[in-house]
Structure 1
Amino acid sequence: MALNKHQRRLRIRRRIRKVSFGTAERPRLAIFRSNKEIYAQLINDNEGKTLAAASSRDKAVEATGTKVEVANAVGKAIAEKAKGLGIEQVAFDRGGNLYHGRVKSLAEGAREGGLKF
């Protein structure tokens, strides 16, 4: 029986979450991508708390241009918030999405902002 797109993405997401775990020193950078927006969170999985979040809906993020450019701005915004918390390294969780397009742009923006993963 063939998997549909949703089932395939959930299977990939579970496989990624087995190895991607966030701590206080190295939180997990979780990405959620909808058709219109993109969201990023820094999560401490030991305590189950979100340390920082940024999205394309934030007023601080300049949401102009293409979706790829907006994703890059979100990556820079989450990196800036992480720097404010003293975080330099993160574990990247692409959330079952391919590392391509907006997800790749967000990751590159976070790297430009100073995050290492």
Structure 2
Amino acid sequence: MTVSKIERRIKIKFRIRKKVVGTAERPRLSVFRSNKQIYAQVINDKVGTTLAAASSLGLEKMNKSEQAKKVGLLIAEKALAAGISEVVFDRNGYLYHGRVQSLADGAREGGLKF
């Protein structure tokens, strides 16, 4: 029985989400990447609210990994403005490689700790 790419990512996502939970002191930085854009949210899972969000929708044209790094810097700036300095990273079933890694590096450069 073959498993599609999407089904595989969803299995990995649930395995990660069993362990990674965002609290008020240390919210979860969740990443979603589509074919063209990348999105990041800082979420408090105890209350179920999004504390900060950033995406590559309004950015100028550049390659995708540079866009992801910019989004990482943006989310770090917004999170620090909201009083959040530490987060747990939720890669959402994606491999920690390429755009996801660039976003994480940008968030670290922006001042977030995880």
Q: TM-score range by the shorter chain?
A: over 0.9
Q: Equivalents in 1 of 2:66, 2:77: separation in Å?
A: 17
* CA shift for structure 1 position 72: 0.2
* Aligned amino acid, residue 73 of structure 1: K
CA shift digits 1:42-84 (9 cap, x unpaired): 00000000001000014xxx43310100000000000000110
Aligned to 2:2: 2
Q: Equivalents in 1 of 2:81, 2:56: separation in Å?
A: 20
Q: Unaligned regions of 5+ residues in structure 2, if any?
A: none
* CA shift for structure 1 position 6: 1.1
Counterparts of 1:1-117 in structure 2, within 5 Å, are 1-58=1-58, 62-117=59-114
Q: Equivalents in 2 of 1:63, 1:87: separation in Å?
A: 27
Q: Unaligned regions of 5+ residues in structure 1, if any?
A: none
CA RMSD of aligned residues (A): 0.8
| TM-score under structure 1 length normalisation | 0.94
| TM-score under structure 2 length normalisation | 0.97
* CA shift for structure 1 position 2: 2.2
Identity of aligned residues (%): 63
* Aligned amino acid, residue 88 of structure 2: A
* Runs of 4+ deviating beyond 4 Å: none
* Aligned amino acid, residue 111 of structure 2: G
